[in-house]
């Protein structure tokens, strides 16, 4: 494919070219070849985008709900029309298998817009509470900083509710997966978003992210990424006392009670964890199982992992493609070796690429057992196709192990006894608990306890994050 050279930013309703800006190379993780370059934005570019967003906020925040709904409907329609274009871009820039790019990456991204439309159509922005008139008003200019692992999905999870609330947005997408973000900017333009309502500046976190999170003209930052980077964003944002919503790391447990359907639930847990090559902060990376059933779980998990097809992400038969970039590949390889060195029981996988794959950031689906809570592979977010199995003695021990990390983003419970599952779910310190693998929902509040972040995304809870509450007495 020809190199993609895109040095444009979307600022104040126009494509602003920065051909003289430093370039950032974008690499196809399946081939390790450079497939294009983008421009690296500066603090000056951020300032221009924020100024445009501030000007646009004065009018856009006053738009009637019906007009905001119409804009979002047009955005949704264009995303659906361009599904294949987005899927191909995501596969090229971060390695998602093409089938999953269509049915997962793009589909769920569109769902966030659909849900925002439905929530907005029913939301009460004014109400009477104990004789007080309460209004909910747009918080202002939003700085949205999104990661490389779910490029479109994370953009729409922020931009759709922000626009629904009446906010204007400056987006800094990951510089590692920027082409789908540029396609989204074109969708916003083609949908008729007024100048300044949506802006995009590409660049690195230490320059563009830093300028955006600390900018006095930004009222709120919504950030998804690592806990390390989230701390820096929060510290920078604190200087201007802006609102910060963060969805950070995770080390999610999948607790199996003794009466669970192990033959069905263990393979589903393995495949669910390894979806997107394990590069999801909510992945159930720790399988917490009864010690008496450990051998059975090991056999089922090994069989499931060894049945996973890893290969060319453009091949419809590939379940896993490569890891998204070289830095992530190196991290995953390091932590697999750490697990071996710590004495965890390696059931399958291990360091290196799968057989037959000599280039690309492909990792072997890996399963460790007999993992204790103090091991690094039980504590650190690996962000790769690496599952750890942790045995427990009784229910109290299972809950203790489930909660024995600094994270608290997502979790799972498997049981034939619904009340038992609910009992355990209530004790897990995490923002989401999934009982017996329910369907994904764009309405369910998503966010973390502890070092997994603060605030909530998705559905009504997302919309409320982008609103201020005003009390008017004597109305």
User: Which residues are catalytic, by number?
Assistant: 247, 281
Q: Cα angle at 211 between 28 and 380, to 5 degrees?
A: 55
Residues 446, 462: Cα–Cα separation, whole Å: 9
Residues 383, 327: Cα–Cα separation, whole Å: 11
Q: Cα angle at 342 between 338 and 345, to 5 degrees?
A: 100
Name the residue among 431, 432, 370 with its Cα closest to residue 401.
370
Q: Cα angle at 217 between 212 and 223, to 5 degrees?
A: 35
DSSP 148: S
Name the residue among 326, 367, 376, 368 with its Cα closest to residue 345.
368
Residues 302, 238: Cα–Cα separation, whole Å: 47
Token digits for 183?
Answer: 């396609």
- Residues 6+ away with beta carbon under 8 Å from 340: 346, 350, 351
How many CB atoms neighbour CB 471 within 10 A?
10
């Amino acid at each position: 494919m020809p190199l993609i050279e895109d040095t444009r930013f979307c600022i104040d309703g126009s494509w602003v070219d920065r051909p003289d800006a430093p370039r950032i190379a974008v690499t196809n993780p399946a081939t390790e070849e450079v497939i294009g370059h983008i421009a690296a934005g500066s603090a000056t570019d951020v300032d221009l985008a924020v100024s445009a967003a501030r000007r646009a906020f004065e009018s856009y925040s006053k738009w009637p709900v019906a007009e905001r709904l119409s804009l979002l409907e047009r955005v949704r329609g264009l995303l659906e029309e361009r599904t294949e274009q987005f899927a191909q871009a995501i596969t090229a820039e971060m390695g998602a298998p093409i089938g999953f790019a269509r049915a997962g990456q793009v589909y769920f991204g569109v769902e966030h817009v659909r849900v925002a439309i439905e929530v907005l159509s029913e939301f009460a922005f004014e109400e009477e509470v104990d004789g007080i008139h309460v209004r909910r008003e747009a918080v202002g200019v939003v700085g949205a900083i999104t990661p490389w692992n779910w490029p479109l999905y994370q953009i729409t999870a922020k931009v759709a509710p922000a626009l629904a609330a009446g906010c204007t947005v400056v987006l800094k997408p990951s510089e590692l997966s920027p082409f789908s973000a540029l396609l989204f900017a074109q969708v916003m333009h083609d949908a008729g978003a007024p100048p300044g309502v949506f802006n995009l500046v590409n660049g690195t976190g230490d320059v563009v992210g830093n300028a955006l999170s600390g900018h006095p003209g930004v009222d709120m930052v919504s950030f998804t990424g690592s806990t390390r980077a989230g701390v820096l964003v929060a510290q920078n944002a604190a200087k201007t006392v802006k609102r910060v919503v963060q969805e950070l790391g995770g080390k999610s447990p999948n607790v199996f009670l003794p009466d669970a359907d192990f033959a069905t639930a263990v393979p589903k847990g393995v495949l669910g964890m390894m979806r997107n090559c394990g590069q999801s902060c909510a992945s159930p990376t720790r399988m917490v199982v009864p010690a008496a059933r450990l051998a059975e779980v090991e056999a089922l998990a090994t069989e499931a992992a060894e049945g996973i097809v890893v290969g060319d992400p453009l091949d419809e038969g590939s379940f896993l493609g490569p890891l998204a970039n070289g830095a992530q590949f190196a991290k995953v390889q390091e932590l697999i070796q750490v697990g071996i060195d710590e004495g965890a029981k390696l059931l399958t996988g291990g360091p290196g690429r799968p057989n037959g794959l000599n280039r690309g950031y492909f990792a072997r689906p890996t399963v460790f057992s007999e993992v204790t809570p103090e091991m690094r592979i039980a504590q650190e977010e690996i962000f790769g196709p690496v599952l750890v199995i942790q045995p427990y003695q009784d229910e109290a021990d299972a809950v203790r192990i489930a909660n024995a990390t600094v994270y608290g983003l997502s979790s799972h419970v498997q049981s034939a006894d619904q009340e038992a599952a609910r009992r355990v779910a209530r004790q897990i310190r995490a923002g989401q608990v999934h009982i017996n693998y329910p369907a994904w929902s764009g309405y369910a509040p998503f966010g973390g306890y502890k070092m997994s972040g603060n605030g909530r995304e998705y559905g009504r809870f997302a919309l409320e994050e982008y609103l201020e509450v005003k009390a008017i007495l004597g109305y």
